């Protein structure tokens, strides 16, 4: 919590804090986002008011550096995504609904640009997912019991459109905390909401309840184990 990241090297029997004091004191959310780079198991990213990155997270004492300064208004980072196949492409979402992107994220001082539009919800970004087969396709989900909580870009964040569907073919108005994209089929997308898992086979145009998964329960995380599960 508050980005006080713990690491275990013995299967969870014990752990130690590997976050730096600067990270822990950076006013992170109570449930703060952190993720391993999918292309580099030694690289971890964590979000507070700043984006903190370690390039030696397996070291005895990892070193951390800020790779994105404070967001205007000190809105904490609430979501992080690194593109599969390209560690330079990073998206971060904030509590105020803003989303930023960099295409040179492995540099010591990456350049960032805001990519969220005013038409998108001005609510906490809960999850960002980049298509593993096409880095131009990005999904972002939002907090709140509102419709249109899932948005999609097909041009690397230059423009966005709702991917929540509508009516009986839409995602219910509930927070979306998990997004998983099929590793071999771009159009297959799954979301975890407070009322269960929903699936789309057409890139978010239409949705249906996932009958093979959990019942209508809150789902906080969706992860692919391999190309089939």
pLDDT band per the 50, 70, 90 thresholds, residue 201: very high
Mean pLDDT in residue range 163-187? 95
Asked if 31 and 20 count as a contact pair (C-beta separation under 8 A), the reply is: no
Bridge partners, 192 (sequence order):
178, 197
Q: In the predicted model, is pLDDT for residue 228 greater than 90?
A: no
**Model pTM score:** 0.95
Bridge partners, 130 (sequence order):
138
Q: Given this model, what pLDDT does residue 229 score?
A: 66
Q: What is the mean pLDDT of the chain?
A: 94
Asked if 21 and 64 count as a contact pair (C-beta separation under 8 A), the reply is: no
Q: Is 24 helix (H, G, I), strand (E, B) or coil?
A: helix
Tokens of 110: 């990456």
217 vs 52: which has the higher pLDDT: 52
DSSP sequence for 76-111: PEEEEEEETTEEEEEEEEETTS-EEEES-TTSSS--
Inter-CA distances, 18 with 63, 70, 136, 190, Å: 9, 22, 33, 32
Mean pLDDT in residue range 8-21? 96
d(CA 182, CA 184): 6
Q: Is 135 helix (H, G, I), strand (E, B) or coil?
A: coil
Mean pLDDT in residue range 78-102? 97
Mean pLDDT in residue range 193-219? 89
Q: Which of 83-87, 130-134, 161-165, 221-225 has the lowest mean pLDDT?
A: 221-225
Asked if 200 and 157 count as a contact pair (C-beta separation under 8 A), the reply is: no
pLDDT band per the 50, 70, 90 thresholds, residue 109: very high
Mean pLDDT in residue range 163-178? 96
Q: Given this model, what pLDDT does residue 215 score?
A: 74
Mean pLDDT in residue range 174-179? 96
Q: In the predicted model, is pLDDT for residue 16 greater than 70?
A: yes
Mean pLDDT in residue range 146-170? 96
Asked if 52 and 80 count as a contact pair (C-beta separation under 8 A), the reply is: no
Phi, psi dihedral angles at 198 (to 5 degrees): -125, 150
């Amino acid at each position: 919590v508050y980005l006080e990241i713990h690491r275990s090297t013995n299967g969870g029997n014990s752990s130690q804090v590997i976050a730096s004091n600067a990270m822990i004191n950076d006013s992170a959310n109570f449930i703060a986002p952190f993720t391993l780079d999918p292309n580099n198991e030694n690289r971890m990213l964590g979000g507070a008011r700043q984006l903190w990155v370690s390039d030696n997270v397996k070291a005895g004492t990892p070193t951390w550096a800020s790779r994105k300064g404070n967001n205007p208004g000190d809105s904490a980072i609430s979501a992080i995504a690194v593109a599969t196949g390209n560690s330079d492409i990073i998206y971060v979402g904030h509590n105020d609904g803003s989303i930023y992107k960099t295409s040179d994220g492995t540099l010591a001082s990456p350049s960032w640009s805001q990519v969220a539009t005013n038409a998108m919800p001005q609510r906490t970004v809960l999850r960002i997912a980049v298509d593993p087969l096409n880095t131009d396709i990005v999904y972002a989900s939002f907090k709140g019991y509102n419709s249109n909580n899932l948005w999609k870009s097909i041009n690397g964040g230059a423009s966005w459109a709702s991917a929540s569907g509508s009516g009986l073919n839409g995602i219910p108005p509930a927070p979306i905390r998990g997004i998983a994209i099929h590793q071999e089929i771009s159009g297959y997308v799954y979301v975890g909401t407070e009322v269960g898992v929903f699936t789309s086979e057409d890139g978010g145009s239409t949705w249906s309840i996932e009958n093979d998964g959990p019942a209508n329960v809150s789902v906080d995380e969706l992860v692919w184990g391999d190309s089939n599960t």
